[in-house]
Amino acid sequence: MEVLKTIRPELLTLSQEQLNCLLPYFTVFGGTCLSIVLSVWGGLKPKWPVFLVTSLTCIIAMFLGSSSGDGTSHTLFNGMMVADAYSQFFNVIFLGAALFTIFSSFRYLDDEKLQHPEYYVLVMFAALGMMLMASALDLIVIFIALELMSLSVYILVGFRRNDRKSNEAAMKYFILGSAASAVLLYGSALIYGATGSTEIRSVLKFLQEHPQSLNPIFGLGFALVLFGFLFKVASVPFHMWMPDVYEGAPVPVTGFMTTGLKAAAFATFVRILATMGYGNGISAAIQNHLHDVLWVSCALTMLLGNFIALTQVNLKRMLAYSSIAHTGYLLLGILSGTRSELGFAPGVMYILVYAAMNLGAFVILTLLAAEGDSKLNLHDLSGVARRHPWLAFAMSVFLLSMAGIPPTAGFAAKYLVFYSAIQANEIPLAVIGVLSSAVSVYYYLRVLVYMYMKDPVGSPPVLRISLWSGLAVAAMILITIQVGVLPERMIDLAKRAVLSL
Amino acid sequence: MSGFNSSLLTILVFLPAAWALAGLLIPVKMGGSAPLKYWALAGSLVTFFLSIFLYVQFSPHGEEFQWLETASWIPSLGISYSVGIDGISLWLVMLTTFLMPIAILGSFKAVDHREKEYYFLLLALETGMLGAFVSLDLFLFYVFWEVMLIPMYFLVGIWGGKERIYAAMKFFLYTMVGSLLMLVAIFYLAYQHKVQLGSYSTLILDLYKLHIPGAGYFGAQSLLFLAFSLAFAIKVPLFPLHTWLPDAHVQAPTAGSVILAAVLLKMGGYGFLRIAFPLFPQAVSLYQVPFMTLGAIAIIYGALVATVQPDIKKLVAYSSVSHMGYVILGLFSLNQIGVTGSIYQMLNHGISTGALFLLVGMIYERRHTREISAFGGITRVMPLFAVAFMIVTLSSVALPGTNGFVGEFLILLGSWNTNRILASVAALGVVLGAVYMLWMFQRVMFGPITHEENKKLHDLSLREVLVLAPLVIAIFVMGIFPNLFFEKMDPSVQRFLNRSSAGITSQPNSASQTSYAQGNNHGSS
């Protein structure tokens, strides 16, 4: 109730700077609405207009988002949202993920006879939800943004509506996702009950002013929020939904989920932890509990993800489990963020790098997928390198990057994460991490074995590589190698983003 | 010219890779693969001539690291691009550039499919190896160390024998597990530098200044030493971590085996020399005897297993285990004689084992088998081959006058000063070495021709003579004029010993170490 009293009229109007900060959000929203109109415009074939409008929207919003900020953070809507370097950094990731998902879906949707304009609109709405998530400072806004994103993605997962697997995945994801959202919301309610506010900064302030009010209700609320997020990022033991959903969803959607969705969940997670004072704000008891929970989850996630991925023969499933493993490395970055000098920067940089290389890999999977997302087993890749040397090369770069082999971005990012873990004195966890990533080398290399060292079975189908997918792959390769060879700029960006928290 | 000279190392390292990239543009359909082959050969020869510059201009009594180049790379983590060579890495660089043209020329006939990728990978591999030998920054070293793996993985996996995929995977995973623990140790060192000296740095010379805490078998220093040693010992490979080696060697194409044996295994020994010993002197003194014991076991075990191999290539592979055992024994004896002998033995092993693999490859191209029992009496039909094979075999069994003798003799002498029991055991290995090599030679080359196919074998072609001649010459030059090599090496070895025995002198309470320290005072060879 305190919040309501503090509302002043001048806070309800937007100043010029605030408007500037909000421009990327408005652009995405406007572009998406325009695409909706275009998709039902009578007598117009919506395929090209919608594709162009959504792509252009992403590019313009990315440009606005990366150029508008002056480095200072602007609080918006009476402290419900904030536009800072951190949200800018993530907005670029989300919009990039959306843009390249759209690029890689264009031909795919034609091939699968799914070319409906809703697809692009949903991708854009999901991206908008992600952008709001990364900049929200209020648990309720976070929830709304999360739902905006999740609802769009539920539909996208089930987009191949005549396919049973896709339907099953959508249903599974919907039910489990809703449960997780409910948990998150319940947690927010309990936090509100304990502290009288849903705004993260006020919660922290309240806790600092009334340390005696740290009661079990708050603890329970915080735990529920934590579990909600661990579910969204699919860390063990909340990972069960993920492989099935990733396998059932259309390939480009899976790519979008592993990059955008995961990045959004992590971005919000880190913001909540950092703003709630993980590291310096709240009492040591909570600190230690939090640390222990994350420690166990992190270790299990790295081990389980990598070991189960070993046994997968379907590439989509393999990358799903590898995605779980990468969640583990990300958690490691967050866990050690409080006690290392680099702070959360390694984790944040890892999110970006993971998004780039994983998106690249999924664009290539999209190209490889035959009708109905079949032919994505390891042996279907036999001899791909003979027919498509560049495609195989690109795939190898992405996989080697995920395995953390220099000079790729994956190595630079992993280096930073493990480095900050050593600084934070998490040596056992770092050792578990590197050893499990040695395990991961096996399954990544196995793909290379099939592509380069096995003879093709029969005559491999000639893939038609569309210009748009080619562009997406080239961009991701560029990022993967550029960040790998000269990571300094990216480290700087990540540092600046984290400093603004 | 001065600009060229000051960045000579960078040019040397990246020239092969750039050359390889340019080679990708050569169309294969035009005129077959011949232009491609000669292009690759030319690239490796140019690299070799550049490295001769290094040899001529390197002054042993000048600065420790010459052609030093340092540029900031990732300043926020204190990582820099830093290269330079001393009297130890000079020789390993020379070995690499010397063997590369030979390996390329040696595969002209053996590789008949996907040639473009093949020569590309070989040259890329050269960049990785040279980079690892010249880098003076741990991060840079690690990057090159890993980059090397990828071309080798493909070389074994695509152009290898029947079990090539298994062998390639095993090779990659073994090396990877070791190097990842090394990576953790690198983080720890960089962080220690920050804690102790106030700034981040991964420059090896900066890290030498650290005082790493933790004496005792499982103190911090020992754990770090073990983490590095695991990576290096897998690469060497030291018993009992050697099991990837026979698989990789046997399955790799000839040039792959040559490079693997001649250069990649040296990376392990070089890692001990440059990183593990000088950084962790106290741990070295603690683990001196265990490692020497493993070295001695490797010598005997490798020799025994080699004796019973029916396959020539496998025999040579196990002989590598035995020969590299000497290297470890010499290094851990921690005196001038032993360490010099060790470095010399690394070069020897590169030359002799490289030559052996080439010879095996040549006979395999003719008969498509490597079984010892499939041969016999080859001397009569291939006299030139027999001469070359004889010389190389004798070099491998360390006959005086060949390079092998100098290395093994120095190592035995050096380790005698440190540990007489292990030196005696190792001396037994010399006898066993003669047994397996000469017995194999006798069964393959002498006696009556028992197989009809062997009667029609043709002798070495001009190309094959050109491949073997430089190696045979090197065997004699190294055997007769070892001082050519020692004079450039000695000051660096002395510096290495000063650093590596620092732990022994700064630890006066451990009386057991004094005898080793005395070992260092023996004069230079």
Under an 8 A CB cutoff, do B157 and A423 touch?
no
Rounded average pLDDT over A400-415:
88
Q: Which residue has the tokens 């990533």?
A: A437
The pLDDT-based confidence of A274 (bands split at 50, 70, 90) is confident
Residues of A whose CB is below 8 A from B168: 449, 453
Residue A126: pLDDT over 90? yes
**CA nearest to B191 within chain A:** A423
- Tell me the percentage of chain A whose pLDDT exceeds 70: 93
Number of H helices, E strands in chain B: 25, 2
Under an 8 A CB cutoff, do B177 and A437 touch?
no
- Tokens, residue B265: 């295994």
Asked if residue B72 belongs to a domain, the reply is no
Residue B506: pLDDT over 70? no
Under an 8 A CB cutoff, do B173 and A400 touch?
no
The pLDDT-based confidence of A128 (bands split at 50, 70, 90) is very high
pLDDT of the residue at A62: 87
Q: Which of A386, A488, A489, A495 to mutate to test the interface with B (most CBs of B within 10 A)?
A: A488
Residue B354: pLDDT over 60? yes
pLDDT of the residue at A148: 92
A431 touches B184 (CB < 8 A)? yes
Q: How far apart are CA B160 and CA B172, in angstroms?
A: 14
- Neighbouring-strand partners of residue A199: A138
A37 CB within 8 Å of a chain B CB: no
Asked if residue B373 belongs to a domain, the reply is yes
- Tell me the percentage of chain A whose pLDDT exceeds 90: 17
Q: Which of B13, B21, B76, B156 to mutate to test the interface with A (most CBs of A within 10 A)?
A: B76
CB neighbours of A82 closer than 8 A, spacing ≥ 6? A73, A74, A75, A76, A135, A137
Angle at A361 between CA A344 and CA B141, to 5 degrees: 60
Asked if residue B455 belongs to a domain, the reply is yes
A419 CB within 8 Å of a chain B CB: yes
What single-letter amino acid sits at B59? S
Residue A496: pLDDT over 50? yes
Whose CA is closest to B361, among B479, B470, B463? B463
pLDDT of the residue at B486: 86
Which candidate from B146, B147, B188 shows the least CB-CB separation from A422? B188
Under an 8 A CB cutoff, do B176 and A441 touch?
yes
Residue B42: pLDDT over 60? yes
Q: How far apart are CA A249 and CA B455, in angstroms?
A: 65
Under an 8 A CB cutoff, do B173 and A442 touch?
yes
Average pLDDT, rounded, for chain B: 84
Residue B364: pLDDT over 80? yes
Residues in chain A: 501
B75 CB within 8 Å of a chain A CB: yes
- B423-431 — which CB contacts under 8 Å span 24+ positions? B423/B329, B425/B296, B425/B299, B425/B300, B426/B295, B426/B296, B426/B299, B426/B300, B426/B325, B426/B326, B426/B329, B428/B300, B429/B296, B429/B299, B429/B300, B429/B303, B429/B322, B429/B325, B429/B326, B430/B397, B430/B398
Residue B520: pLDDT over 50? no
Rounded average pLDDT over B379-408:
87
Residues of B whose CB is below 8 A from A453: 157-158, 164-165, 168
Under an 8 A CB cutoff, do A418 and B187 touch?
yes
Rounded average pLDDT over A440-448:
88
Under an 8 A CB cutoff, do B180 and A434 touch?
yes
Residue B524: pLDDT over 50? no
Residues of A whose CB is below 8 A from B191: 419, 422-423
Domain with B387, as residue range(s), is 283-504+513-519
Which candidate from A342, A406, A418 shows the least CB-CB separation from B143? A406
pLDDT of the residue at A460: 60
Q: Which residue has the tokens 């010892």?
A: B372
Q: How far apart are CA B339 and CA B334, in angstroms?
A: 6
Under an 8 A CB cutoff, do A449 and B190 touch?
no
Residue A4: pLDDT over 70? no
pLDDT of the residue at B97: 92
Asked if residue B457 belongs to a domain, the reply is yes
* Nearest-neighbour CA in chain A from B211: distance (Å): 18
Asked if residue B74 belongs to a domain, the reply is no
Residue B2: pLDDT over 70? no
* pTM confidence score: 0.88
CB neighbours of B92 closer than 8 A, spacing ≥ 6? B133, B263, B266, B270, B346, B347
**CA nearest to B187 within chain A:** A419
Q: Which of A396, A405, A426 to mutate to test the interface with B (most CBs of B within 10 A)?
A: A405
**pLDDT tens digits for range A275-325:** 776 655 566 667 777 888 888 989 999 998 899 888 888 888 888 889 889
Q: What is the Cα A50 distance to its own chain's centre? A: 24
The pLDDT-based confidence of B63 (bands split at 50, 70, 90) is confident
Residue A374: pLDDT over 80? no
Rg (CA), chain B: 22
Rounded average pLDDT over B56-68:
83
> What DSSP character marks residue A461?
P
Q: Which of B21, B72, B81, B187 to mutate to test the interface with A (most CBs of A within 10 A)?
A: B187
A456 CB within 8 Å of a chain B CB: no
3-state helix, strand, coil in chain A (%, to 5): 75, 0, 20
B153 CB within 8 Å of a chain A CB: yes
**pLDDT tens digits for range B120-131:** 888 999 999 999
Tell me which of A455-464, B144-153, B187-196, B236-245 is least confident: A455-464
B143 CB within 8 Å of a chain A CB: yes
Q: How many domains does chain B divide into? A: 1
CB pairs under 8 A between A and B: 85
B181 CB within 8 Å of a chain A CB: yes
pLDDT of the residue at B333: 87
Q: Which of A399, A452, A486, A492 to mutate to test the interface with B (most CBs of B within 10 A)?
A: A452
pLDDT of the residue at A99: 92
Q: Where are the domains of chain A?
A: 13-499
Q: How far apart are CA A368 and CA A60, in angstroms?
A: 30
* Nearest-neighbour CA in chain A from B189: distance (Å): 10
pLDDT of the residue at B513: 37
**pLDDT tens digits for range A227-236:** 888 888 888 8
Helix A164-195 and helix A216-232: axis angle, to 10°? 160
Q: How far apart are CA A400 and CA B7, in angstroms?
A: 30
Regarding predicted confidence, which is higher, A456 or A202? A202
Residue B434: pLDDT over 60? yes
Whose CA is closest to A79, among A184, A172, A145, A8? A8
Q: How far apart are CA B235 and CA B264, in angstroms?
A: 7
Under an 8 A CB cutoff, do A411 and B146 touch?
yes
Rounded average pLDDT over A141-170:
89
Q: Which of A422, A439, A451, A499 to mutate to test the interface with B (most CBs of B within 10 A)?
A: A422
Rounded average pLDDT over A77-97:
86
Under an 8 A CB cutoff, do A491 and B76 touch?
yes
A416 CB within 8 Å of a chain B CB: yes
pLDDT of the residue at B518: 40
B20 CB within 8 Å of a chain A CB: no
- Tell me the percentage of chain B whose pLDDT exceeds 70: 94
ipTM exceeding 0.90, yes/no = no
* Nearest-neighbour CA in chain A from B168: distance (Å): 9
Residue B522: pLDDT over 80? no
Handedness of CA B397, B399, B404, B410 (dihedral sign): positive
Under an 8 A CB cutoff, do A418 and B183 touch?
yes
**CA nearest to B158 within chain A:** A453
> What DSSP character marks residue B137?
B
A410 touches A357 (CB < 8 A)? yes
The pLDDT-based confidence of B62 (bands split at 50, 70, 90) is confident
Q: How far apart are CA B153 and CA B150, in angstroms?
A: 5
For the purposes of burial, counting CB atoms within 10 Å of the CB of B520, is it exposed (0-12), middle (13-18) or buried (19 or more)? buried
Under an 8 A CB cutoff, do B157 and A449 touch?
yes
**CA nearest to A448 within chain B:** B154
Residues of A whose CB is below 8 A from B150: 400, 405
Residues of A whose CB is below 8 A from B158: 452-453
B184 CB within 8 Å of a chain A CB: yes
Which candidate from B75, B169, B183 shows the least CB-CB separation from A445? B169
Under an 8 A CB cutoff, do A492 and B77 touch?
no
Residue A72: pLDDT over 60? yes
Residue B378: pLDDT over 50? yes
Q: What is the Cα B146 distance to its own chain's centre? A: 16
pLDDT of the residue at B500: 80
**pLDDT tens digits for range B445-490:** 888 888 777 778 888 888 888 888 999 999 989 888 888 888 888 8
Half-sphere exposure of A165 (CA within 13 A, CB side): 12
Tell me which of A181-195, B69-83, B309-323 is least confident: B69-83
* Nearest-neighbour CA in chain A from B151: distance (Å): 12
